[in-house]
Amino acid sequence: MDRIQIRGGAALNGVIPISGAKNAALPLMIASLLTDQTLTLENLPRLADVAQLAHILGNHGVDYSIDGKRIGEDTGSGQTAHLRARTIVDTSAPYELVAKMRASFWVIAPLVARMGAARVSLPGGCAIGTRPVDLLLMALEKLGAQIDIDGGYAVAKAPKGLIGAEIEFPKVTVGGTHVAMMAASTARGATLIRNAAREPEVADLAACLNKMGARIRGAGSSTIEIEGVARLNGAHHRVLPDRIEAGTYATAVAMTGGDLMLEGVGEDLLEEALEALTAAGATVTSDNRGVRVRRNGAGLKAVDIATAPFPGFPTDLQAQFMALMTRARGVSRIKETIFENRFMHVQELARLGASIKLEGDTAIVSGVKRLRGAPVMATDLRASVSLVIAGLAADGETIVNRVYHLDRGFERLEEKLGACGADIARIAG
Ligand code: EPZ
């Protein structure tokens, strides 16, 4: 298993091109199941999760091809993929595949919408919490699907097709909103989604579905209206930039000091996270090229945050921000409101010398003057990258084990950081 070796202490200076968003790419790829025509996605990140989902979609009958390299193209630019589900050959998704990547459960929506039937394994627990799918199934039931749980599988049936309905989510759910939008796009009649997730990835999926012929209004706000259409077509869509990747590098430069241009991302995708970094002592500016984050030699200040659905502070940046706060002056309170078990990085940060106490859903971080390198490992990708951030500022050598977590969600992490001055390398093994 590969490991990442970091020798801490170097500032980060330079330009980091931000890749297409993993969490937009996955639902966009799944939307290809809704039509028998070709969906072309540009700026698809080169990630293990994207490859894994392509494999899962292949089992349902999706032909998947990636354009070859073009003249003058650098390896940093995203891929262009063509997905065509001319015929759905299998409406079931087995446990072995769904357990590897929770988002693959979302195939249930296009399968039941297009084929009137789907049998998809329940995803089970995961490292960051219980993560149930009850609200996704509730949305499909509202749209007229009959749902049974049988042998660990969710079995959805709608032989006469789905029917538009009003869906009110009792809790904001990104996956629930994706599923409801995909299923309602070809339902008979109108659907109203209340308390929808406002994440930019939801708006990106809606924009793509609309290019495919759907009639969706309001995505990106908490009320989404959908007028069902008889069928969807192929389309061309560019995946939006990855705000979590950008926020991760913004946090890294706040940690190490230096000056980074995060190319291709807009401040609007990251507002609250950038505000927190500014309060901690970074300087953030932006122009049409991207977001620039700097910090000179001055010390970091402790800042309290609480994760929340967009536009709040993203749970997917909580671990990274905690790593930053381990070196701040004072005490920072970090409250996790989305997932109940997303503190697996705490013990590993402690191995580097951090002082963190857990009180229920809140981590209390007392800043220390220095961190010291150590071997560490993590159980999910955001936790893993928080250890990279800590390692970049720690004295001596940090080895991050289980790099496959990082490969799920960060494209060429060590290359991007290395090009900006970090002493970081991948050790194959
Ligand atoms: C998406 O997960 C992201 N995944 C996650 O990113 C992200 O952390 C999360 O949204 C929150 O922003 C992808 O986009 C592929 P939710 P999702 O449904 O959709 C509860 C990463 O690191 N809930 O918005 O699965 C749930 O337990 C990943 O890239 C129910 O109770 O998250 C959680 O407490 C990790 N019942 C809350 O809602 C349900 O049926 C929000 O979850 C569904 C969710």
pTM of this structure: 0.97
Residue 338 CA, closest ligand 1 atom number: 34
Residues 15 and 50 both lie in one domain = no
For ligand 1, atom 13, the nearest C-alpha belongs to: 23
Asked which of 204, 238, 272 is the last residue of a domain, the reply is: 238
> Does 75 or 5 have the greater pLDDT score?
5
52-56, 58-62, 76-80, 99-103, range with the lowest pLDDT: 76-80
**Which candidate, 165, 113, 174, places its Cα nearest to that of 142?**
165
Over residues 112-120, the mean pLDDT reads 98
State the distance from the centre of ligand 1 to the C-alpha of 373, rounded, in angstroms. 32
Residue 15 has pLDDT above 90, yes or no: yes
What confidence category does residue 379 fall into, taking pLDDT thresholds of 50, 70 and 90? confident
Residues 133 and 208 in one domain: yes
Domain ranges, residue 274: 3-19+241-427
Residues 406, 384: contact at Cβ < 8 Å? yes
What per-residue confidence (pLDDT) applies to 294? 97
| H or E element at residue 181 | helix 174-185
Of 54, 88, 126, 368, the active-site residue reads 126
Residue range 167-179: mean pLDDT, rounded: 98
Say whether both 250 and 136 belong to one domain: no
Which of 52, 108, 137, 171, when mutated, tests ligand 1's pocket best, judged by the most ligand atoms within 8 Å of its CB? 171
Give exposure, 223-243, as e/b (b: 16+ Cβ within 10 Å). ebebebbeebebbebbbbbbb
Q: Based on the domain organization, do 230 and 270 belong to the same domain?
A: no
Q: Which atom of ligand 1 is nearest to the CA of 171?
A: 38
pLDDT per residue over 287-323, tens digit each? 999 999 999 877 899 999 999 999 999 999 999 999 9
Q: What is the DSSP string of 211-264?
A: HTT-EEE-BTBSEEEEE--S----EEEEPPB-HHHHHHHHHHHHHH-EEEEEET
Mean pLDDT of the residues in the chain: 95
Mean pLDDT of 162-186: 98
Describe the crossing of helices 318-325 and 271-280 by its angle, rounded to 10 degrees. Answer: 0
Please report how many Cα atoms fall inside a 13 Å half-sphere around the Cα of residue 172, on the Cβ side.
20
Spatial distance between the Cα atoms of 314 and 342, rounded to a whole number of angstroms: 12
Q: Is the pLDDT of residue 75 over 70?
A: no
- The pLDDT score that the predictor gives to residue 74 is 67
Which of 204, 222, 238 terminates a domain? The answer is 238
Pocket of ligand 1 (CB under 6 A): 23, 26, 102-103, 129, 131-136, 171, 173-176, 197, 315-316, 338-339, 381-382, 409
Q: Is the dihedral of CA 16, 236, 196, 153 positive or negative?
A: negative
Residues 295 and 391 in one domain: yes
In the reported structure, the alpha carbon of residue 282 is separated from the centroid of ligand 1 by a whole-number distance in angstroms of 29
How many angstroms is it from 118 CA to the middle of ligand 1? 22
Mean pLDDT of 99-104: 92
Task: Determine the straight-line distance between the first and last CA of the chain, rounded to whole angstroms.
Answer: 5
Of 365, 363, 361, 405, the closest CA to residue 387 belongs to 405
Q: What is the mean pLDDT of residues 314-337?
A: 98
Q: Does 266 lie in the same domain as 222?
A: no
Band (69; pLDDT cuts 50, 70, 90): confident
pLDDT at 76 over 80: no
Give yes or no: residues 339 and 256 share one domain.
Answer: yes
Ligand 1 binding pocket mutation candidate from 173, 386, 406 (most atoms within 8 A of CB): 173
Please indicate, yes or no, whether residues 229 and 212 belong to a single structural domain of this protein: yes
Note whether 146 and 254 are same-domain residues. Answer: no
Domain boundary among 238, 267, 293: 238
405 shares a domain with 273: yes
User: What would the mean pLDDT of 224-243 be, rounded to a whole number?
Assistant: 98
Residue 73: pLDDT over 80: no
DSSP lists the bridge partners of residue 63 as 84
Q: How many other C-beta atoms can be found within 10 angstroms of the C-beta atom of residue 180? A: 29
pLDDT reported for residue 68: 82
Alpha carbons 5 and 249: distance in angstroms, whole number: 18
When divided into structural domains, the chain yields a total of: 2
Three-state DSSP state, 210: helix
pLDDT of residue 125 exceeding 90, the answer is no
Binned at pLDDT 50, 70 and 90, residue 77 comes out as: confident
Residue 389's pLDDT band, with cuts at 50, 70 and 90, is: very high
